[in-house]
Each structure stands twice: as C-alpha cells, then as structure tokens.
Amino acid sequence: ASLAEERASAEELLSEALEEEDGDDEMCDECREELSRIEKEESAVGAAAIDAVLPRDDDDYGSDAVLEVRAGTGGDEAGLFASELLGAYERAAKDRGWKVETLGRTSTDLGGIKDAALSISGSGAGGGGDSSSPSHSLDALGPYGYFKFESGVHRVQRVPVNDVRIHTSAASVAVLPAPSDDGGRSS
C-alpha cells in the first residue's frame, strides 16, 4: 500500500476510535504512533526525491553568495519592483539565520533601486549545515545553493497607485558563489 493509503487508513481508524463512547485509548495511541511513523517516512521519501532531482554541486552546500539585483525596463516602477525583490531576498536570508551585508546600492528618487548587491554568508539553514553530510536536503543548502535558481530576469505586471493602466516592469538577478579569502570559492 502507498503511504497515502496507509495515512488515510490510520486516520480513519483514529477517527473511529475517538468516536467510540468507551474510547479505546490503546487503539488511539497505536494510531497516533502509526501516523507519526508515516510522517517520518513521507519526509524521508520527499528528501530522497529532492536529492534525486537536484544535480550535485559542491558549491550548493558550502558557498556563500553574492546576489545582485538591477532594475530593468519599466522606469520608476522597475526600480520599485527591484527594491521589493531585494527586500524579499534579504528577509529570506535572515529567516534562515544567514548574515546579510549590503555591498552597494544605488537608490532612485521614489525609494526604488537602480542596482544593489548583497553578500550572504552562513551554512545550511540556521547556520548549522554540514557540507560533508551525505544528505542534500533543502535545509542543508548554503546561501549560493539556496538562491542560485533566482538568477535571471523577473517580470511583474501591476497597476501603480497613481495610474489606471497595467505597467510591466522587469529586474535582473545574478547570484554567484562568493570568492573565499584564499582566492578560490568559499566553503
């Protein structure tokens, strides 16, 4: 039986056991234990699927990142969009416990940015990752591995507060592994 079928069966048994008037505590405990086992197994299968799909790259687990955001086409709206992207990346990095340092920033008159660069450093989620670990889950990724697929052009269509027409704006994002102090890549 699949894990989904096992989960459904265990949930149904737990529901039935809870509905009984005499309340079979032993049956409820067994169902809860079985659900816990199924959750752990589902988590392991999910991690194995991620490991199978993501290509192995040593930089993913041991490299800090330099992330650059530049406003593209769209005028002032593009600058505002680029600023929102930069803020989202900063929050995501800080939520994972990584250190974020602004390397450079050129602002616009309306509070947007023309371009900005960040240095993001740390290891794994919460700073506790181990690049030599055989498990390559998303939680073990370093800053470069976590953000590298954000590289490219991002586009948004929205109606500004001072207009009624849809504006299309773009921003480019570049994510590179940060160089280490010894001239190679960071680890």
Phi-psi region of 65 (alpha: psi -120 to 50; beta: other; left: phi over 0): beta
Measured CA to CA, the distance from residue 123 to residue 144 in angstroms comes to 10
**Model confidence pLDDT, tens digit, residues 99-132:** 999 999 999 998 999 999 999 998 765 444 444 4
Q: Are strands 99-107 and 113-121 parallel, antiparallel or unpaired?
A: antiparallel
Q: What is the pTM of this model?
A: 0.66
> Is pLDDT of 91 > 60?
yes
> Is pLDDT of 134 > 60?
no
What is the mean pLDDT of the segment spanning 91-103?
A: 95
**Model confidence pLDDT, tens digit, residues 10-36:** 888 888 888 886 767 888 888 889 999
Listed in sequence order, the DSSP H helices in the chain are 3-19, 25-53, 58-62, 75-95, 143-147
What is the mean pLDDT of the segment spanning 40-65?
A: 82
pLDDT of 124 reads 64
Backbone angles phi, psi at 90, to 5 degrees: -60, -45
Beta bridge partners of 174: 68
- 3-class DSSP state for residue 131? coil
Measured CA to CA, the distance from residue 50 to residue 54 in angstroms comes to 6
